Amino acid sequence: MQQNEMKLEFDSRSCNEGFARVTVAAFMTQLNPTLEEVADVKTAVSEAVTNAIIHGYEGRVEKVTILGRIEGQELYVEVRDEGKGIADVALAMEPLYTTKEECDRAGMGFSFMQAFMDSLEVESEPGRGTCVKMRKRISREEREPVVTKRTDGTVAKDTQEASQTADGQPGKLIWNKQERS
């Protein structure tokens, strides 16, 4: 089974949120995910990191840690802070529940993490910090790149596979227009 691991530590500044989710997205590309799977993971990571920054550290600049691991076709992501912690995790995870409504928080962070990942686990202790553990199975199978001979004799390689129609049957090939023209 393919295994790979990475660890990322950064300051709890809001400008690092984009950097954090893009790093995880880049790490997961080796699983050959679909664009939608990448978008889902980015959103989930963004939620967890934003929570650590806003709720965990409440604006103080300390460290947020992300552990990423690939186990076969599964991505495991852990987002950890050593901040305030959550007294009642079940309540915090309720949709629309938020302690910072005045800051325009929607109370949907954990709901989004649940919706976009396959599993979500939250460990927290008041005064010690919070650790969010998420898993997502990347379904895409190994695919051979499409190789076609062009009329001029050169060979066009395209990793974009035959598109799947809604019923799972292979649809027609979609080509990279820029490359062709």
Partner 1 sequence: MNQVFTIAGTVMTIHLPAELDHHSAEQIRAEADRLIRTRNIRSLMFDFGGTSFMDSSGIGMIIGRYKMMRFMGGNVLAIRVGEQMRKILTMSGIYKVIDIYEGLPQQSELY
Q: Contact positions toward partner 1, by CB under 8 A? A: 14-15, 17-18, 21, 36, 39, 42-43, 46-47, 50, 53-54, 103-109, 111-112, 115
Contact 165, 171 (CB under 8 A): yes
Q: How far is the CB of 124 from partner 1 (least distance, A)?
A: 19
H/E stretch holding 129 reads strand 129-137
Q: Which is nearer to partner 1, 53 or 138 (CB)?
A: 53
- Distance, C-alpha 52 to centroid of its chain: 16
Q: Which is nearer to partner 1, 61 or 147 (CB)?
A: 61
Give me the catalytic one of 69, 105, 135, 137. 105
Q: Which is nearer to partner 1, 4 or 163 (CB)?
A: 163
Q: How far is the CB of 72 from partner 1 (least distance, A)?
A: 27
Q: What gap in Å lies between CA 138 and CA 132, rounded to an integer?
A: 19
Can you give the length of the chain in residues?
181
**Region for residue 144 given its phi and psi (left: phi exceeds 0; alpha: psi -120 to 50; beta: otherwise):** beta
Whether 51 is a known active-site residue: answer yes
Q: How far is the CB of 106 from partner 1 (least distance, A)?
A: 4
Whether 105 is a known active-site residue: answer yes
CA distances from 30 to 14, 23, 33, 34, 139 (A): 27, 13, 8, 11, 13
Give me the catalytic one of 51, 78, 80, 82. 51
Q: How far is the CB of 21 from partner 1 (least distance, A)?
A: 8
Helix (H, G, I), strand (E, B) or coil at 162: coil
Q: Which is nearer to partner 1, 23 or 71 (CB)?
A: 23
Q: Looking at the annotation, which residues are catalytic?
A: 47, 51, 105
